[in-house]
Structure 1
Amino acid sequence: MNTDYIGLKRALEVQGVNIPSYNAVIIGAGGAARAAAFMCGTCGVRGLVILNRTVQKAVDLAGDVKKAFPWMNVSAMPLSDAGKVPFENFLAIQCTKVGLAPDNAACPVEDAAFYQKLAVAFDCIYNPEKTAFLQRAANTGKKAIGGIDMLTYQAIASFEAWTGKEISNEMADGIRTELSAFIREQNRPKNVVLIGFMGSGKTTVGAKLSKKLGMKQIDLDAMIVEDARMPVTEIFRKEGENGFRRRETKILQKLIEDGTRDCVISTGGGIVVQEENQPLLKALGTVVLLEVSPDTVVRRLGKDSTRPLLQGPDRVRKVRTLLVRRQNAYARSADFTVDTNAKTADEVADEIIRRTIG
C-alpha cells in the first residue's frame, strides 16, 4: 500500500480540488513524485509535465508513467524552464525537499511566470506548514495547500489498513489539528534574538513579535540601564564604548545562565562588535538580523539625540561608516536576515514568524 498516493489524493479532495479537471505539473522525480504522477494517471489527469533539476530522472519517470497510462500526455522538462510549462491554470505538486525546515526560505521555483500560470499549488512538505513555494503561490492569489493534510491522511490510511477501523471526518480533523499544533510547537525557537543597526526597528518589531507569539519581550539596553542605574548616554560618558560593550556581554551571560526561554530579545545596535558576544547571541536562540540602509536610519531617527555614536554633523556618513564596519559581524551572528527598509513592523514580524515557525 502506497500511503503517499492515498494521502495526496485525499488531501487534495478534502480541499475541494477536482483532480481530473486539471493538467498537472510535478516538481521532482523521486519517490513522492512517482506517487503523485501515478495518482494523476489513476485520477484521469490528461496532461502531465515533470520538472526536475536532473532532467534524465524526469525523463525516466515520464516514461514509466506513459507505459502505465498510454493515453496520457506526459513530458519532462528541466526545472530551470518551469516558467515555460505549456499549461495554463494547472495543478502544481511540489515533491522535493526544497523549503523543508530549517531551510524555510528556500524555494524550488523562482520564475514568477510559473506562479502566474498555475491555479492550485500543493507542497508535500508539512514542516513548515506554509513553505516559500506556497507563499509565492498565495501571493499571486492562487490556492495554496500544505502537506499537513497529506501527512494526516497517510497516517489514517496506515491505521485503517492495520486495524480495519474507519476514521471519521471529524476524527480526521482533530488529528490534523493536533499534528499542526505539535509541529508548530516543535519549531518554536527557544528565543528570538533581534540584532541590527540602530533604527532598524528591533524594539518595535520585538513588541509585535512578542504579542503575536505570546512571548515575553526583553530589551537588552533597558536591562543594562537598570543594572547600571544610569542612562546609556551616561554609561558611554563615564565608561566609554568598551565599558558599555562589557556590560552587554555580562547581561548576555546572565540570560544564558538563567536559562531564559520563550522571549523576544531586542539588542543594542553594536552588540556584535564584541566578538565574544556573537556565540552568546546564538546560544540564546534564533538570531535575526534586521537589515536597514543608512538613509532609512537617518529618516527613522530624525533628530534623536540619545544615540551617543551619532552625535555631531553628517549623520549619514557616520551611519554608513558604522554599518560597513559592522557588516561582517552582523552576518556572522545572524541565522537569517530580513530587509526592513520598505516593510512595516507587522510585515517584518510576520516574515520572521514564517521563517522560524512556518
Structure 2
Amino acid sequence: MQNYTDGYTRTCGLIGNPVKHTLSPLIHNALAEMTGVNLVYVPFEVEHAAVQDAVKGAKALDILGLNVTIPHKSAVIPFLDDIDPLAKGIGAVNTLVRTPEGGFKGYNTDMTGLYRAIREEGVDLSGEAVVILGAGGVARPAAFISAGKGARKVYILNRTFEKAEVVAEEVNKAVYELGREDKCTEDGLSAAGEATDYEKIIVPMKLEDYKKLYELEDRFIVLQCTSVGLFPDVNSTVIEDEEFYTHIIAAMDMIYRPLETKFLKMAKAAGAKIVSGLKMLLYQGVDAFELWNSDLDVKISKEQADEVYKSLVMEVTGAANIILEGFMGCGKTTVSEILADKLDIELIDTDEVIVDTEKRSINDIFAREGEQYFRDLETELLRTIVEDHWRETVISLGGGLPMREENRELLRRAGKVVYLRTSPETVFDRIKDDTTRPLLQTEDPLARIKELQDQRREKYEQAADIIIDTDALTPEEIADEIIEQLGL
C-alpha cells in the first residue's frame, strides 16, 4: 500500500521501546488508504528518559496523534494536557490526540478495543461472570472494562495471590470513582452507587483454586491475559484441565502469536466461542484512528475492519503472500485463481510474468537460451518479490522453481508455501493432451512424470509449510483447505 504525501499530510505514529516489529503501521496506513484520509503512520523508538522530549517534539512537529506502547503507557501521563476518564481510571494511556490548544489528551483504546473486538464477535459481558487469567498490565484494563460494561462478577486468577488482590482493589476503586464522577454516560460505563457495590465485583483468587469457580459460576467468559502460550512456547496454557474449558461460554487470548493458542484451541474444542488477541490489536487501532480523524467524521465499518484483519492475519502467520508449488498439472493455476478471488487479493503466475517480461513463450526460451537461463529468470523474479516486500498476493510457481536451494530460501522469506501434492497418474490424466510442456515431449510422458516427481518431491517438501494431497479434492475444496489451515 502506498500513501501519497504532501504539505497537508497528517502524521501519526507510535512511541515505545522496542517498536521495530509493530503491526500498527499496517493497520493505520491501510485505514488511511481505505478512507481516503491523507495520513501516514510511522513508529518512533523512544528511550524511557526521553518520553517528555518525545511529547514536546511531537507538539513542535505538529504530529496529529500518537500511540503509546510499553514501557511508556503510564510514564507519558504527566506530560499530557488532559486525560480521558477511562484512561485515568486505569492509570495508563495508549493513544494521544491533539487538543484545540495544541497539546495532547490521553485515551486508552486498549480497553475500548478489547470490548469492541468481543462485541463484534457477538460476546456480551453484561450480566455475565468473567474470569481473567493473570494479574499483569493487560489484566487491569480487562478487569476495568469488564466491570464497566456490566459484568456481574470478575474473577482475577493469578499464581501470586497478592498481585491479584492489588489489581482487584485498584480496579474496584477506579470503577467506583469513575461512576461517582458521573462520567459514565459518554463512556458507556455503568454508574456506580455505593463503594461497597463495586468492592464485590472484582474478586481475586489463587490460580490453583480455579476449581472453586465451579461452585460459584456454572458458565463464564475467560480473558487470557498472561504470556503463557506465546511463541515459541505454543504447547502451553495456564490451565491444562479440560474440565475448566467445559464451563467457558467465550474465550479471548490477548496473545496473537500464534493466532490460535493452545488456550483457544482447548476452549474451541469444548464448544466455546473464541476471539484472537489480534482482534483487540485491530480495534484498539481502529478506535485510535477514529479519534485522530474525528474532525473528518471518519468511522470504520466492520467490512473495512475485516479487510485490515485479513492483512494482519497474513502478516502474523507469515503468509504475507500465499505461494503454491507443485508438479505441473497439480492444479496450481485454478486453485490460485479461486484463492485470490475468495481472499480478494492479487494473483501472479511466475511463468506468466516471465513470458510477459521476455515477450516469448517458455518453449521458445528453453529452445533458444536453455533451461539454465529460464531458472535464472525465476530466481531474479523471486528476489524482486522479497526485496520489494510484496504483500497480499497469491503466487503460483513454475513446477521447477523450488529445486534451487537459493529459491527455497527466498520462498521462506516471501510467504507461506503450500505444496499441492498429486500422484503421477492424476498428473498424466490432466495434461496428457497438453503440447506446451517442453519437459514432457517424450515417447513415454507418464514415465517422465514419475521420474521428474521422484527428483522433485523432496525439494517440494523442504520448501513447503503446508502439504495438501489433491487427488480426491476439487480445486474449490483445495482452496478452502488452504484458507482453513492458514487461519484466514
TM-score band, normalised by the shorter chain?
0.5 to 0.7
The 3 A distance-change label for structure 1 pair 348 and 21 is same
Count of aligned pairs: 318
2:117·2:283 contact (CA, 8 Å) conserved in 1? Answer: yes
| Aligned-partner Cα distance in 1 for 2:271–2:450 | 40
| Aligned-partner Cα distance in 2 for 1:257–1:212 | 26
Match of 1:32 among 138, 142, 147: 138
The 3 A distance-change label for structure 1 pair 243 and 45 is farther
Classify the secondary structure of the residue corresponding to 2:398: coil
Match of 1:62 among 144, 161, 164: 164
Is residue 2:468 matched to residue 1:350? no
The 3 A distance-change label for structure 1 pair 206 and 16 is closer
| Aligned-partner Cα distance in 2 for 1:191–1:222 | 18
Give runs of aligned pairs for residues 19-168 of structure 1, distance below 5 A: 19=125, 21-40=127-146, 43=150, 45-46=152-153, 48=155, 50=157, 55-56=159-160, 59-65=161-167, 69=199, 74-77=204-207, 86=214, 88-95=218-225, 113=242, 117-124=247-254, 131-132=259-260, 142-145=272-275, 146-147=279-280, 151=284, 155=288
Question: What letter is aligned with 1:34?
Answer: R
| Aligned-partner Cα distance in 1 for 2:142–2:123 | 14
**Structure that is richer in helix per residue:** 1
1:210·1:216 contact (CA, 8 Å) conserved in 2? Answer: yes
Is residue 2:461 matched to residue 1:327? yes
| Aligned-partner Cα distance in 2 for 1:325–1:153 | 42
Give the superposition deviation at 1:253. 1.7
The 3 A distance-change label for structure 1 pair 135 and 244 is farther
Deviations 1:187-229 (A, max 9, x none): 6787543334556543233112222344443322345567563
Is residue 2:469 matched to residue 1:341? yes
Question: What letter is aligned with 2:342?
Answer: K
Give the superposition deviation at 1:266. 0.7
1:290·1:339 contact (CA, 8 Å) conserved in 2? Answer: yes
When Rg is computed on C-alpha atoms for both structures, the one with the higher figure is: 2
Is residue 2:423 matched to residue 1:297? yes
Question: What letter is aligned with 2:361?
Answer: R
Give the superposition deviation at 1:264. 2.6
Is residue 2:351 matched to residue 1:249? no
Tell me the equivalent position of 2:400: 270
| Aligned-partner Cα distance in 2 for 1:91–1:38 | 15
Give the superposition deviation at 1:247. 0.6
The 3 A distance-change label for structure 1 pair 124 and 190 is closer
The 3 A distance-change label for structure 1 pair 204 and 65 is same
Which structure's relative contact order is higher, taking Cα pairs within 8 Å and 6+ residues apart? 1
Tell me the equivalent position of 1:162: none
The 3 A distance-change label for structure 1 pair 196 and 120 is same
CA RMSD of aligned residues (A): 5.3
| Aligned-partner Cα distance in 2 for 1:197–1:111 | 42
1:99·1:131 contact (CA, 8 Å) conserved in 2? Answer: no
Tell me the equivalent position of 2:184: none
Question: What letter is aligned with 2:260?
Answer: A
The 3 A distance-change label for structure 1 pair 245 and 271 is farther
The 3 A distance-change label for structure 1 pair 204 and 348 is farther
Give the superposition deviation at 1:32. 1.1
| Aligned-partner Cα distance in 2 for 1:198–1:76 | 59
The 3 A distance-change label for structure 1 pair 37 and 198 is farther
Is residue 2:325 matched to residue 1:218? no
Classify the secondary structure of the residue corresponding to 2:417: strand
The 3 A distance-change label for structure 1 pair 9 and 215 is closer
| Aligned-partner Cα distance in 1 for 2:305–2:362 | 49
Give the superposition deviation at 1:25. 2.9
| Aligned-partner Cα distance in 2 for 1:111–1:99 | 11
Give the superposition deviation at 1:182. 5.5
Classify the secondary structure of the residue corresponding to 1:340: strand
Percent of residue pairs bearing the same amino acid type? 23
Give the superposition deviation at 1:63. 3.1
Deviations 1:87-130 (A, max 9, x none): 65321223357899xx8xx69759794665421233557x89x9
Tell me the equivalent position of 2:339: 209
Question: Unaligned regions of 5+ residues in structure 1, if any?
Answer: 160-166, 332-336
Give runs of aligned pairs for residues 223-238 of structure 1, distance below 5 A: 227=358, 229=361, 231=363, 235=366
